Structure 1
Amino acid sequence: MKKMNFRKYAPYPSVELPSRSWPDRRITKAPIWSSVDLRDGNQALPIPMSVEEKVAMFQLLVSVGFKEIEVGFPSASATEFAFVRRLIEQGLIPDDVTIQVLTQAREHLIRRTFDAISGAKHAIVHLYNSTSRLQRDIVFRKNREEIKAIAVEGTALVRRLKDESGVAGIRFEYSPESFTGTELDYALEVCHAVMDVWGASEENKIILNLPSTVEMSTPNIYADRIEWFCRNIKNREAVLISVHAHNDRGTAVATAELAMMAGADRVEGALFGNGERCGNMDIVVMALNLFTQGIDPELDFSDLPRIRETYLRCTRMEVHPRHPYAGELVYTAFSGSHQDAISKGMKAQPLSPEGLWAVPYLPIDPEDVGCSYEAIVRINSQSGKGGVAYVLEKDYGIQIPKWMQPDFAEAVQAVADRTGIELSTDQIHDLFHAEYVKLVEPVILKKCHISWDDEDLQRNDEEATLISAIVQMKEQEFSFDARGNGPLDAFVKGIINASGLEFSVDEYAEHAIGRSSGALAIAYIKIACADGRISFGAGIDSNISLASIKAIVSALNRLP
């Protein structure tokens, strides 16, 4: 077997950062969020969004609470330009929302970008040029000074066009693209030059976006780079440090979170991680990560199904069923031990004196994101007794006692193993009835009358209850009259005497199914025979005494 040639790759360099402080910090508030769904996300789609789809996505992002939204690359295409104009000319941008537009550091593209945002009250012009060593050497064939000059000249033109527009609401963002592939000292040098040209101050802040354009290292090294940059940038109060993490190594969310701990003020990302290659940092995940730590994410994801539906319709992209928080399967459990723990946690939750969410395996209350408990437990061949019992109780009010749960779970397991598929709650309910309630042979209860001596219901002597019954066992039919300290005791004594079968009732439970006055009763029985056999049964009737007797017949019918 041919081995992978790992020697063709070199480890990413670490950062010399004495006394790094970010590992000891905690995130205590949400960052400034910037959605890049309509630009970075859109350009990664096999079929880019139409103007109408982009409008629908923009309105979704506004409803979620984004205050900064990168709406496109208006100099790149007529569709991009038309969309920005639609937003402005039709007054679709709320006063508290700032649109952001991206442009390369080239004069005709910058001018076209300003044409696109003409009439906007607030806008961020996002200028970028690649500064990485690899791109300097291979793509542009320019040295450090030449690359820095591109950034400086582009910034100067943006400042001049802003002044000419007379719109005070135009702000500036600069990205040394491929920051992760750029030497730290050089990235700082370019950003300082851009700050000088822009005239950055505490009153006229510049956004310096330090993208993980290609994720090249573990998140801690990126955090080191951000802390190093924050320590060494001049006039820190004049700068908003922004991060834009891609997911090439699958750790974009961790990268952004650690970057915040390292000093970043602002985070760019996309819903469900949409973006080039492996995608952008997933804002849904990062925001809800904050939420589960008791931090206001300042974004409203309380209706994830609606957000997911709009996203699917506009982008034609899927959301993975195991996607954190939003996937169709994230609030389900197939494992038996998980199902049992969830069931117990859900029952204990209302008893929490602090009112804090604390359910095993569920770090978030599904209701908080617009989901329900209906799919928490689903049953297949990996399921256990706790999950099976939870399903029946939650959906049908059937509370199988713990001593009977393994017996029914075994029946469910047998069906799941035989079919190899997931069982629906309806199938589980039907199986319970087929296994216990609807058994009609070999024991058939043909008649059963219950009475009390002298009809005195207050009598306490042990033989006050009378049973008259007709029972058929296989080919034989017999009738009996018996006394007992209750209907169940009398019936057991009578059938033992009539049939000669010796058994005892070892466990018994009962409850009403539902809360109405006309609710049915269900009884559960465990019997043990003198020869060592045991059996479980269940009976349902409007009369609890008859339900108990039916449970005895059920257990007799299930004797091995």
Structure 2
Amino acid sequence: MTPPPGTSTFPTLRTPSGALPADAPVWNPQRPSAMPHHRYRPAHDRVALPLTDRAWPSRRLGRAPLWVPVDLRDGNQALAEPMDTARKRRFFDLLVAMGFKEIEVGYPSASATDLPYLPIDPADIGRTYEEVIRINSQSGKGGVAHLLRTHHGLDLPQAMRPDVSRTVQHLTDGTGSELSAEELWDLFRTTYMAPAREGGLVLETWTSSETAPGLHEFVAELRSGGRAGTYRGTGNGPLSALADALGAAGVTVDILGYSEHATASGPGSPAVAYTECRVDGATAWGAGQDSSVLTASVDAVMAAVNRTGATNR
């Protein structure tokens, strides 16, 4: 509810109203308090603080720093009982009333919505959302998925996004750096697509056919190490028949999840498929991309199977 004119939602709170510093950055016009601080002597003038052979403790702050509250960002909102929209809005209004000009806002990982958080509206500095999304060890699932969708047409399944986010965080934690959109794509392709053809179990050639209504046969030539063989499988679809063929080769595969989509409109546009597979108790996601939906799907299964590590045992 909007308070009546002349009143405040937080009547006991006094919003800072001091003069704006001449050198205040345009992106954070934080005002100091109107408190007459000149009436008070600095603590260093009132209390002797003997500091010898020390560098940074001797430094003094002559002005208040620029404050950026992070109480509404992703990590701080991953609560046992996450705030609902009304409580988050009231908290945001409180921070504004306290005089903060830069506020990090994000949707909690426990909520149904997942979008990247931004400290300011990019339009205010003549930029777009895509330009200011930063991929590092603090990135949420939404920012990673947004860049992959915007730059490469990938619409990651919701269930796959936490796994991709962990992959990004593992890399950026180790390097301490941020990833560009192209580096993010290279990481995704290397991690989730390349294992289809570079793992311990290689699908050399294959054919798939529907031998009867609702019955499919998959014939696979598989190579593992120095051994190669031809295996057949049947199922109610091409992927279930592939799983059956892998079982004949001694690799028991359960396909737990599957989705696919085109990356662009029009005939011949590449398709991307995603699968989650379980092999000997180990679970992993894989992805494939090809102008053929079936080929992309087969590659996704093989990538997931190889990523479990079961084929290397």
TM beyond 0.5: yes
Counterpart amino acid of residue 543 in structure 1: S
1:324-372 per-position Cα deviation (integer Å, ceiling 9, x unaligned): 68xxxx9xx7x9x5597999477xxxxxxxxxxxxx8569754476321
SS at match of 1:374: helix
Instruction: Show the counterpart of 2:214.
Output: 462
C-alpha distance in 1, partners of 2:191/2:208?
Answer: 27
Instruction: Show the counterpart of 2:183.
Output: 427
Superposition RMSD in Å:
3.8
- The reply on whether 1:553 has 2:302 as its aligned counterpart is yes
C-alpha distance in 2, partners of 1:504/1:432?
Answer: 23
Contact 1:343-1:390 within 8 A present in 2 as well:
no
Give 1:292-307 correspondences, 5 Å limit. none
- The reply on whether 1:539 has 2:295 as its aligned counterpart is no
Give 1:266-305 correspondences, 5 Å limit. none
Instruction: Show the counterpart of 2:7.
Output: 24
SS at match of 1:510: strand
1:210-269 per-position Cα deviation (integer Å, ceiling 9, x unaligned): xxxxxxxx97697xxxxxxxxxxxxxxxxxxxxx934399854987xxxxxxxxxxxxxx
Contact 1:525-1:555 within 8 A present in 2 as well:
yes
SS at match of 1:483: strand
- Could you say if the C-alpha distance between residues 369 and 516 of structure 1 is closer, same or farther in structure 2, counting changes exceeding 3 Å? farther
- The reply on whether 1:503 has 2:243 as its aligned counterpart is no
SS at match of 1:526: strand
Instruction: Show the counterpart of 1:5.
Output: none
C-alpha distance in 2, partners of 1:390/1:470?
Answer: 37
Contact 1:339-1:387 within 8 A present in 2 as well:
no
Question: Which structure's residues are more often helix, by fraction?
Answer: 1
SS at match of 2:155: coil
C-alpha distance in 2, partners of 1:452/1:22?
Answer: 72
TM-score normalised by L of structure 1: 0.37
Instruction: Show the counterpart of 1:521.
Output: 271
- Could you say if the C-alpha distance between residues 501 and 219 of structure 1 is closer, same or farther in structure 2, counting changes exceeding 3 Å? closer
- Could you say if the C-alpha distance between residues 410 and 437 of structure 1 is closer, same or farther in structure 2, counting changes exceeding 3 Å? same
- Could you say if the C-alpha distance between residues 397 and 254 of structure 1 is closer, same or farther in structure 2, counting changes exceeding 3 Å? farther
- The reply on whether 1:370 has 2:126 as its aligned counterpart is yes
Give 1:56-205 correspondences, 5 Å limit. none
The alpha-carbon deviation at position 434 of structure 1 amounts to: 0.3
Instruction: Show the counterpart of 1:393.
Output: 149
In structure 2, the gaps of 5 or more residues are: 35-61, 64-99
Counterpart amino acid of residue 517 in structure 1: P
Contact 1:388-1:409 within 8 A present in 2 as well:
yes
- Could you say if the C-alpha distance between residues 524 and 246 of structure 1 is closer, same or farther in structure 2, counting changes exceeding 3 Å? closer
- Could you say if the C-alpha distance between residues 518 and 419 of structure 1 is closer, same or farther in structure 2, counting changes exceeding 3 Å? same
- Could you say if the C-alpha distance between residues 553 and 469 of structure 1 is closer, same or farther in structure 2, counting changes exceeding 3 Å? same
Instruction: Choose from 229, 235, 258 the match for 1:478.
Output: 229
TM-score normalised by L of structure 2: 0.63
Segments of 4+ in structure 1 off by > 4 A? 218-222, 248-251, 337-346, 360-365
How many aligned residue pairs are there? Answer: 233
C-alpha distance in 2, partners of 1:450/1:370?
Answer: 52
In structure 1, the gaps of 5 or more residues are: 1-20, 27-217, 223-243, 256-276, 279-322, 347-359, 454-458
1:3-26 per-position Cα deviation (integer Å, ceiling 9, x unaligned): xxxxxxxxxxxxxxxxxx984289
Rg comparison, structure with higher value: 1
SS at match of 2:185: helix
1:493-533 per-position Cα deviation (integer Å, ceiling 9, x unaligned): 11111x2122211111111112232211111111123x421
Identity percentage of aligned residues: 32
C-alpha distance in 1, partners of 2:205/2:148?
Answer: 30
Counterpart amino acid of residue 247 in structure 1: P
Contact 1:441-1:474 within 8 A present in 2 as well:
no
Contact 1:537-1:555 within 8 A present in 2 as well:
yes
- Could you say if the C-alpha distance between residues 418 and 469 of structure 1 is closer, same or farther in structure 2, counting changes exceeding 3 Å? same
The alpha-carbon deviation at position 422 of structure 1 amounts to: 0.9
The alpha-carbon deviation at position 427 of structure 1 amounts to: 0.8
The alpha-carbon deviation at position 383 of structure 1 amounts to: 1.7
SS at match of 1:435: helix
